[in-house]
Amino acid sequence: MKRKILAGAFVMLGTILGACAPSGAYYVRYGPPAPRYAVVGVAPGPGYVWTNGYWDWRGSNWGWAEGRWVRPPRARAVWVGPEWRHEGSGWRFHRGYWR
């Protein structure tokens, strides 16, 4: 009986910790291609912020995610762009977020 309770507790703990893991962070063996640059243009209205495009790993290949104009979710929010970081023997992607 104690083993079943202990096993259930470990399963629950694993589920909780798995849900706390950062979403969108993943690891690939080689880095992304050089970034693409384009003309940003004019914001569609007051309060919009430009978010740069980035290389995204899609299945087994690189795909370019275009930059776009977005409205911040709250006043004084700052966009922290996504980035690829060289970690160990590969590259880890960290999605952008509002700070």
Q: Is the pTM of this model over 0.85?
A: no
Q: What is the pLDDT of residue 25?
A: 62
Q: Is the pLDDT of residue 40 over 70?
A: yes
Whether the CB-CB separation of 85 and 32 falls below 8 Å is answered with no
Residue type, 41: G
Q: How far is residue 44's CA from residue 95's CA, in Å, rounded to a whole number?
A: 24
Q: How far is residue 57's CA from residue 64's CA, in Å, rounded to a whole number?
A: 9
pLDDT in tens, 47-93: 999 999 999 998 889 999 999 999 999 999 999 999 999 999 899 99
Q: How far is residue 39's CA from residue 50's CA, in Å, rounded to a whole number?
A: 11
Q: Is the pLDDT of residue 20 over 80?
A: no
Q: How confident is the model at residue 38 (pLDDT cuts 50, 70, 90)?
A: confident
